[in-house]
Structure 1
Amino acid sequence: MSYPRRRIIQTGGALAGATLAGCISVSDDSSDKNTSDDGSGDGKTAAGTAQLWHGRSKGPKKNLVTNVETFGSETNHSVKLSEISELEKKLENAIPAGKGPHLFQWAHDWIGEYQPAGLLSDQKENLSVDIDSTFTKAAAEAVQFNGEVLGLPWAAETVGLVYNKELVDKPPEMVEEMQSIMDEHHDPSNGKYGLSFPIDPYFISGYAQAFGGFYYDEGNDKLGLTNEKTLKGFRFVRDELAKYIPKDHAYDPQAAVFNEGNAPFAINGPWFLGSVRDSGVDVGVAPLPKPKGGTPKPYTTVKIWYFSKKMNQGGKNATAGRKFAEWHTTNTDILSTLAEEHGFIPVHKDLAGSDELPAATKAYSKSVKMGEPIPTHKHMSSVWDPLKSAFKKVVKGDQDAKPAFKQAEKTIKSNWQ
């Protein structure tokens, strides 16, 4: 079975060249099938080993390795942790064949395709965590589809304004103020730029949808790329922001400019903070500045430990996977550390909106409140690539926005059929 391609949101391209790596446990999962979850009369659950696949970037990956080790020391279960390049492709090949992981990590937007395709496992009846009382409403809704509970949420994220404190005294609240600062630093002939901003549909969504426009209306199954308010947003990105960035619009070249101290601002997500701090840049985070006459509406995501179809096999290894997901998503120490070190926004009710959250996390949290979740309808997956191709033509000046996106909508609707 083939699945429509969708863009990588979670890691921002940071996994180029990553390979299968890093086993925390060497236990084999061949005993997974038909294995009782009961202990041997000692009151404990029989030890299991869950397989977990992820695509985390460098900083958050270190936290995950530590978390898995701690889980193993605190329970009688273990986790076999593997970093996977091309995670989507390998999941879609492995799971239908009864292989792959018990758990995998990604944003919530895959759920609308993966559940109907039979790639996920409903664990509603097996969970000891009440999702509605434990997590925020948006997070609880994100892990449910067609009445099933298909994973557990641990963070929300979106893009915000990251700024170099050595170059910016106070983050701007309006785009006009931001442009004044960018003008001071923009000197491409000397490798200096006003802004680091990967140009793709996810990163530009805040401003593309800032004037009342939208990419896709899930409730009405309707495209909005040629809506005049959306076109205004696309043109705003082209005319007011793109002129300040390096010519190579891809993620890595854009990130490098900021990490090297050669731009005062970056529009990026919390996953970006680890590499920035590793590079020695003293950074702050603020909500996206407002354009005149608009309010940024960036796409937001909920990060999930998905329950793979392999969980349906039951047994001690499936139990280990479920217990790890419950342990990780309810451990407020872990969630606080992720907020402190990487800006991940907690969705656990005991932490969400807390005054004790780090400044960066609070700023990203404000951007989340400004935004809206990526639609989970299967039609959304067909929007990304044609939208990206169309905007590439627009930002390069090869085509105006209206004809470019008229063709994009035609392509998308054809793909739906």
Structure 2
Amino acid sequence: MKKGLFALLLVGVLVASVVASGCIGGGGTTSSSSPATSSPSPSSSTVSSPSETTTSSPSPTQTTTTPETECGSGKVVIWHAMQPNELEVFQSLAEEYMAMCPDVEIVFEQKPNLEDALKAAIPAGQGPDLFIWAHDWIGKFAEAGLLEPIDNYVTKDILDQFAPAAQEAIQYKGHFYAMPFAAETVAIIYNKDMVKEPPKTFDEMKAIMEKYNDPDNEKYGIAYPVNAYFISAWAQAFGGYYFDDETEKPGLDDPKTIEGFEFFFQNIWPYMAPTADYNTQQSIFLEKRAPMMINGPWSIADVKKANINFGIAPLPPITKDGKEYWPRPYGGVKDIYFAAGIKNKEAAWKFVKWFTTSPDAVKELSLKLGYIPVFTPVLNDPDIQNDPVIYGFAQAVQHMYLMPKSPKMSAVWGGVDGAINDILKDPANADIPAILKQHQQEILSNING
């Protein structure tokens, strides 16, 4: 599943989404199919435990509240679908907060099917105070009346401390419903034993692909899963888009989107193993049969297990007619949402504010879980900048396209993947403009019901 990029000065680090981004939602790292409405991100994937798990820690007793920490009181319940390693870090941070705020109890409850659980419980008045998921749920949950606005809490001085895309990711139709804590997108993961320096231009990237491409011996120029999420970078490179959140219109037949699709299938696909499958493409890189792979932070554990000496860099810009065009892959922002019917809003806000704006807390999330921070003061921390994974994906996040928030986006994924599947039947001879126009009509029909 998937995460981000920034490094040095990042107040402009996450691109405010024209948008959409990006991702970090549920999807699959073991499937080549695109996520239903979100990017393949491990953090937001459901956990296949047989039953829900409630985790809480008794608040330590003999503690005092630090002057800068605002404390509420009572219980704050947070629903999630995190992996065990993520929960461990979140729980540790909650315990740290409860040590400072002994009148507050933070309780985490794991829900194997978080979306269904929330949709059933919140209308019945039995939902949590908070829940954790990618930003792309914000539209459909707000439209369904399942979120609590926090407009009176999110002040300009707080908002301005976050990267632009993160600011965009927590609001919908003029209201704030969540706070952000990380971002993710895809980037180039390269084998340093094969590629000494990452490509800084697409021409350099293509030269590397040409050098290593040897399909007769099952070696290739690049490993790259192919679906709507993964190749969004190229569809959006020249100004195209799958869906525009602002106009709520699909753009599969836009000339710039068509140009991006043609670019990918003419300049990248020929250097790949002829399969869209995620597992196959990743294996090619892990088996050192390709010098580069396009993937997200969720894949790094497997890269490390394969003992690959790797580096990470953003997809490089394309130069055309004297102008630079950056590939813009979908990206996502991880949010903590406020649920409608919240029982302890004041205490929940104070905890969330601390969790998302405490430099130490944000830094711990990043260093322990590889999360790409969106709280800009942390981006300049030497420990963050010296971490090759965080730093590399942080650079990639700069160019990401925030995944759409509109509920209408759910009608778009199938059409885009349908177009890709039709092109893949005969990539060398496919009438890409005609195929994209056909599936544009399919998407419009789905949106209009």
Q: TM-score, normalized by length of structure 1?
A: 0.81
- Corresponding residue for residue 142 of structure 1: 169
Matches within 5 A, 1:7-406: 7-11=37-41, 15=45, 18-19=48-49, 20=51, 22-25=53-56, 45-56=72-83, 60=86, 62-76=88-102, 77-125=104-152, 131-187=158-214, 192-293=219-320, 294-311=325-342, 314-315=343-344, 321-340=348-367, 343-352=370-379, 357=385, 358-397=387-426, 399-406=430-437
- The residue identity in structure 2 corresponding to 1:264 is P
Select the structure with the greater relative contact order (CA < 8 A; seq sep ≥ 6).
2
| Structure 2: segments with no counterpart, 5+ residues | 1-34, 59-69
Q: How many residues align?
A: 393
- Corresponding residue for residue 33 of structure 1: none
Q: What is the deviation of 1:248?
A: 4.5
User: Whole-Å Cα distance in 1 between the matches of residues 94 and 274 of structure 2?
Assistant: 41
Larger mean Cα displacement after TM superposition, 334-343 or 110-119: 334-343
- The residue identity in structure 1 corresponding to 2:412 is V
Q: Is the 8 A contact 2:45 2:81 kept in 1?
A: no
User: Whole-Å Cα distance in 1 between the matches of residues 125 and 221 of structure 2?
Assistant: 49
Summarize the Cα distance change of 1:73–1:221 in structure 2 as closer, same or farther, 3 Å threshold. same
Larger mean Cα displacement after TM superposition, 157-166 or 58-67: 58-67
| Structure 1: segments with no counterpart, 5+ residues | 28-42
User: Whole-Å Cα distance in 1 between the matches of residues 230 and 40 of structure 2?
Assistant: 11
Larger mean Cα displacement after TM superposition, 96-105 or 123-132: 123-132
- The residue identity in structure 2 corresponding to 1:6 is A
Summarize the Cα distance change of 1:250–1:64 in structure 2 as closer, same or farther, 3 Å threshold. farther
Summarize the Cα distance change of 1:386–1:181 in structure 2 as closer, same or farther, 3 Å threshold. same
Q: Is the 8 A contact 1:156 1:302 kept in 2?
A: yes
Q: Is the 8 A contact 1:48 1:319 kept in 2?
A: no
* 3-state SS, counterpart of residue 203 of structure 1: coil
Q: Is the 8 A contact 1:274 1:342 kept in 2?
A: no
Summarize the Cα distance change of 1:415–1:362 in structure 2 as closer, same or farther, 3 Å threshold. same
Q: Is the 8 A contact 2:57 2:95 kept in 1?
A: no
Q: What is the deviation of 1:184?
A: 4.1
User: Whole-Å Cα distance in 2 between the matches of residues 72 and 278 of structure 1?
Assistant: 36
Q: What is the deviation of 1:78?
A: 3.7
Q: What is the deviation of 1:203?
A: 1.7
Larger mean Cα displacement after TM superposition, 176-185 or 145-154: 176-185
Q: Is the 8 A contact 1:13 1:252 kept in 2?
A: no
Q: What is the deviation of 1:44?
A: 7.4
Cα-to-partner distance string for 1:155-178 (whole Å, 9 max, x where unaligned): 232221111222221101223322
User: Whole-Å Cα distance in 2 between the matches of residues 106 and 380 of structure 1?
Assistant: 17
Q: Is the 8 A contact 1:122 1:149 kept in 2?
A: yes
RMSD across aligned positions (CA): 3.3
Q: Is the 8 A contact 1:60 1:271 kept in 2?
A: no
User: Whole-Å Cα distance in 2 between the matches of residues 248 and 159 of structure 1?
Assistant: 19
Q: What is the deviation of 1:387?
A: 0.7
User: Whole-Å Cα distance in 2 between the matches of residues 408 and 347 of structure 1?
Assistant: 35
Q: Is the 8 A contact 1:152 1:306 kept in 2?
A: yes
* 3-state SS, counterpart of residue 231 of structure 2: helix
Percentage identity across paired residues of the two chains: 33
Q: Is the 8 A contact 2:170 2:177 kept in 1?
A: yes
Cα-to-partner distance string for 1:286-344 (whole Å, 9 max, x where unaligned): 11022342421223332211112242xx24xx555434322221121232234345553
User: Whole-Å Cα distance in 1 between the matches of residues 138 and 180 of structure 2?
Assistant: 12
Summarize the Cα distance change of 1:345–1:93 in structure 2 as closer, same or farther, 3 Å threshold. same
